[in-house]
Structure 1
Amino acid sequence: MPVVTPVVAGLGAGLSLIVAIGAQNAFVLRQGILRRHVLPIVAICIASDLVLIALGVTGVTAVLERIPAAATVVRWLGAAFLLGYGLLAARRALRPASLDPANAAPVESWRVAVLTCLAVTWLNPHTYLDTVLLLGTVGNSWQDQRWWFGAGAMAGSVLWFVALGFGAGLLRGFFTRPASWRVLDSLVAATMLTLGVLLIVRGG
C-alpha cells in the first residue's frame, strides 16, 4: 500500500479533530486576530499535539499488542466516538453558535498568554480523547504504517495552528463569521462519519 494513503488519512483525521471550535482554537484565534503573542502560543499548541499524537500512536498500539481482545473493544469505542463526533459536528453546522473572538479582551502579558495556552491545551479532557485515544486507535488500524498516519496527523496540526494563529489577522472577517465555522464543521462531520464507518469495515 502506498505510503501516501496513511499520510493523507492521518492528515484528514488530524485536521478534522483540530478544526472544531473549542477553548484552544478560540484562544488561538482571538490572539491571532489581535496579533498578541502568536508565536509562543502557536509553538505550544504544535509541540503539545506532536507529543500527544506520538503517545497515542505508540501507547495505544502497545496496549493492544499485549491484550489482543482489547483491540475489538477499542475499535468499537473508537468508531462510536468518531460517529458521535461527526453527528455533533453536523449539528453544529446546522445550528452554529455565535462566536466573535475579537469582542473578547486580549491577553496582554506573554506569561499569562503562555499559561493560558498550556491550560486550555493540557487541562482539556477532549485533548486526550482526540489525540491520544482516537488518533491512536485509528492509527493502529494501519498497523506497520501507523507512523505514516501519525506523521500525517502531525502535519495537520502544524498546518492548522500556523494558519489559524498567523492567518487570523489577515482573515479577521472570515473567521469571525459563524457561517465560516459552519463550513468547517460540515467538513468535520463528513470526515468523522467516513472514518467511523471505515474503522468498522477495516476491523470487520
Structure 2
Amino acid sequence: MPAAAFLTGFTLSLSLIVAIGAQNAFVLRQGLRREHVGAVVTVCAVLDVALMAAGVFGLGALVHASPRALQAITWAGAAVLVLYGLQALKRALAPAQLLASQSGAGAPRAQVVRQVLAISLLNPHVYLDTVVLVGAVGAGQPAALRPVFLLGAATASTLWFAALGYGARLLTPLFARPAAWRVLDLAVAALMFSIAWQLLVPQFR
C-alpha cells in the first residue's frame, strides 16, 4: 500500500538521521548563530534526498561492494572531522563575543556551504545510512512503490534539518552568554574527534 511504503520510508529515514553526528552538530551551530541557515538546511536535505534516491534505484549495492571506495571516503572524512574539531577547539579556547542574536555575521555563505558539503560527503556514515541502508530497504519495495518510499524518506529528512536549523533559535536565551558557546564548541570538538577515532580504528585492525 502507498501509505505503508511512505510511512516505512519516513520512519526509517528519521530513525537514522535523528542522532548526534557531525552534520547535525554543524546545522545546530549555524542555526544558533542564525548564519546562512537556509543554505545549510537546503544543502543537507538535497544531498540526503539525492543519496537516498541513488540507493533506492540501485547504487547501494555498488557502494557496498566497493571496499576501496569506502576506505578512501573513511580516511578523507576522518581528516575533515579532525580539522573541524580543531577549529571548534580553537573557538572554545579563545572565544569571541558570540551572540545568538547576531545575524548575517561570520563566514561567507560560500565558505559555509563548502564546509557542510565536506562534512556531509566525506562522512562514510552518510553513505551507509542513505545509500546502503535506506537504499536496501527501498530497493526491496515493489517497483511501483519505490518513489512513494523515497518521498517518505525525503520528507523526514527535510523536516528534520529544517526543524534543527530553524528551531535552534529557541535556545537563543541560553546562548546569549559566551560561556554557553564555549561549552557548545568543546562538545562539538569532542564529537568530531570521537567520530574520527571511530572511523580510523577499524582501519588499523
Q: Structure 2 length as normaliser, TM-score?
A: 0.60
Counting matched residue pairs gives 141
1:170 aligns with 2:170: yes
Distance in 1 (alpha carbons) for counterparts of 2:110 and 2:11: 33
1:50-104 deviations in Å (ceiling 9; x for gaps): 11111011015887xxxxxx9xx9xxxxxxxxxxxxxxxxxxxxxxxxxxxx968
**Counterpart mapping for 1:1-204 below 5 A:** 2-60=1-59, 108-144=107-143, 145-171=145-171
Distance in 2 (alpha carbons) for counterparts of 1:119 and 1:173: 30
How far does residue 10 in structure 1 lie from its aligned partner after superposition? 0.4
- The answer to whether the 8 Å contact 1:15/1:156 transfers is yes
Runs of 5+ in structure 1 lacking a partner? 64-69, 74-101, 177-204
- The answer to whether the 8 Å contact 2:54/2:60 transfers is no
Runs of 5+ in structure 2 lacking a partner? 66-90, 99-105, 175-179, 181-205
How far does residue 172 in structure 1 lie from its aligned partner after superposition? 5.2
Distance in 2 (alpha carbons) for counterparts of 1:172 and 1:139: 39
Distance in 2 (alpha carbons) for counterparts of 1:150 and 1:159: 14
- The answer to whether the 8 Å contact 2:6/2:148 transfers is yes
Over aligned residue pairs, what C-alpha RMSD do you find?
3.1
Distance in 1 (alpha carbons) for counterparts of 2:60 and 2:30: 36
Please identify the structure whose Cα radius of gyration is greater: 2
Aligned to 2:81: none
- The answer to whether the 8 Å contact 1:35/1:169 transfers is yes
Distance in 1 (alpha carbons) for counterparts of 2:57 and 2:140: 12
How far does residue 171 in structure 1 lie from its aligned partner after superposition? 4.1
Deviation beyond 3 Å, 4+ runs, structure 1: 60-63, 102-107, 171-174
How has the CA–CA distance of structure 1 residues 140 and 40 changed in structure 2, closer, same or farther, with 3 Å as cutoff?
Answer: same
How far does residue 109 in structure 1 lie from its aligned partner after superposition? 2.2
How far does residue 111 in structure 1 lie from its aligned partner after superposition? 2.0
Identity score, percent: 46
How has the CA–CA distance of structure 1 residues 172 and 149 changed in structure 2, closer, same or farther, with 3 Å as cutoff?
Answer: farther
How far does residue 115 in structure 1 lie from its aligned partner after superposition? 0.8
Distance in 2 (alpha carbons) for counterparts of 1:126 and 1:28: 17
Distance in 1 (alpha carbons) for counterparts of 2:109 and 2:120: 16
SS at match of 1:170: helix
1:127-146 deviations in Å (ceiling 9; x for gaps): 11110010010112222222
